[in-house]
Structure 1
Amino acid sequence: MTEEEAVQIAEYVAAACPAQKFGEYTPDVWGEILKPYAVDEARTAVIAVARRQPWISPAEIVEEIKARREERIELAHVVYDGDPDETGAQSAASRRALIAAAANGHLPPRTPAAALGTADRLALPPGDPGPYTNRIAAVRAAVGQGIPTARDGVVNPRAIPCRVCQALPGTSCEVRGRRMRDVHPARLDDAKRRAAGLPPVDPDEARAAEDRIRAATAALAAQAVTTEET
């Protein structure tokens, strides 16, 4: 909160509590106390406190702000999926960023089942280019890490999407709704081709090659059965 915004809050309180007296330096002191908080949060807190009592102190505004933040965190049912590439410190920072996003109202209220579901998708607007399509992407953007991008000569399979499970860049591959420690072989192959400067695999050609392999395997199996029968 800026000094000008602190003056606005003091004037807001004076309008809500006309019997409350203010000195010349009251806005300055209130500005120091309310500095860590957003002016919109403070204004909402003033209204809530004014509905309960005729006098408002800055400490009561802070208490109301903290109560509403804790309520938003509780309703969001914050669950951080984690990332196998993160260190312990990075994971802790990511979880703190996710909790802060919930406290600031960027995460909508959810049921516990939705919070735990791997198919759950959120959208956070922390200021970086979006859209953010899952919790890990949103948290990375909130802590300034962003989504990893593919670089020439570097094999990083998580920097590209997976054509098998449709995992997005920066997220882990999944099998039957469970996050994999490693990535799908096809994703690793695509990353190697990207690093080597080769074009991506044509999905139609890949499926055709798989069909040829299946047909050849079936033919060999049929031949083996025929040989055993004779």
Structure 2
Amino acid sequence: MNQDEAIMLLEYVSAACPAQRVGEFTPDVWGELLAPYDLTDARAAVLAVARRQPFVSPAEIITEIKERREERIALANVVYDGDPAETGIESARSVRALLRAAASGQIPPRTPSAALGTAKRLALPPGEPGPYAGRAAAARAAVGQAIPRVREGVVNPRAISCRRCQALPGASCSAGGRRMNDVHPGRLEDARRAAAGLPPIDPAEEEREQARRIAASAARAAADTTQPDFEDAT
């Protein structure tokens, strides 16, 4: 605020508080005291103070301006994403610049989700990590979304896909459209082989093995139903 703006502010104060005296050097003093502040904020502060009492002082105007600026900063939910190329001093300057912008009303009120850039993020297919706006948004969105990895010696069926229901890594098996608590046996066997460093079972070979087992079971069942011939001992 300059001297001309201080004179305009005092005229505003005189209109709001007719009983308040204004001396010859009042504009000079008010101009120096309110120099760091904007005329628009000062006028709003005058109105706020004048609604409570018949006189307005520079100290009360400054207090009102600071409270309004702090409220704007709180409502803006300022988030600084950072820049790896910045030094510590440069990063601090960037943060201060954002806070000044929020205090002056250049950054409108917004929710924390909007400040982080996650308010309108669309749902993504399983296994796709982005894109997201800013490192903070990416870090927040990645919580609990990491896909399990295959590790040697560790049997983790959800680290691999399922050949039976086509479940992707990280997803549960399903049967009849409903999610299963356990995985399909074939997926568990593949996980065991992966943990041992072996390739997955060939589906064709698995089908032949199942057919062989079914045939063997049928043969045993047929043999069990055959009644032996007994001679009459009487």
What corresponds to 1:96 in structure 2?
Answer: 96
For the pair 1:36 / 2:36, whether they are aligned, the reply is yes
RMSD across aligned positions (CA): 3.1
Correspondences of 1:204-219 after superposition (within 5 Å): none
Structure with max Cα Rg: 2
Secondary structure, counterpart of 2:95 in structure 1: helix
Q: Cα offset for 1:114?
A: 2.2
Match of 1:62, as an amino acid?
A: I
Correspondences of 1:55-66 after superposition (within 5 Å): 55-66=55-66
Secondary structure, counterpart of 1:24 in structure 2: coil
Match of 2:60, as an amino acid?
A: E
Q: Cα offset for 1:77?
A: 1.1
Correspondences of 1:21-170 after superposition (within 5 Å): 21-115=21-115, 117-119=116-118
The answer to whether the 8 A contact 1:118-1:177 is kept is no
Q: Cα offset for 1:78?
A: 1.2
The answer to whether the 8 A contact 1:41-1:65 is kept is yes
The answer to whether the 8 A contact 2:6-2:31 is kept is yes
Q: Hey, what's the Cα distance between the residues in 1 that align with 2:16 and 2:39?
A: 16
What corresponds to 1:149 in structure 2?
Answer: none
Match of 1:16, as an amino acid?
A: A
Unaligned runs of 5+ residues in structure 2 are 121-129, 143-201, 203-234
Q: Cα offset for 1:119?
A: 4.5
What corresponds to 2:18 in structure 1?
Answer: 18
Correspondences of 1:166-177 after superposition (within 5 Å): none
Match of 2:34, as an amino acid?
A: L
Cα 1:49–1:176 shift into 2, 3 Å: closer
Unaligned runs of 5+ residues in structure 1 are 122-164, 179-224, 226-230
Q: Hey, what's the Cα distance between the residues in 1 that align with 2:140 and 2:12?
A: 54
Cα 1:19–1:166 shift into 2, 3 Å: same
Q: Hey, what's the Cα distance between the residues in 2 that align with 1:72 and 1:87?
A: 28
What corresponds to 1:147 in structure 2?
Answer: none
Q: What is the TM-score with the length of structure 2 in the denominator?
A: 0.52
Instruction: Report the count of equivalent residues.
Output: 140
Cα 1:22–1:110 shift into 2, 3 Å: same
The answer to whether the 8 A contact 2:113-2:119 is kept is no
Match of 2:45, as an amino acid?
A: A
The answer to whether the 8 A contact 1:80-1:95 is kept is yes
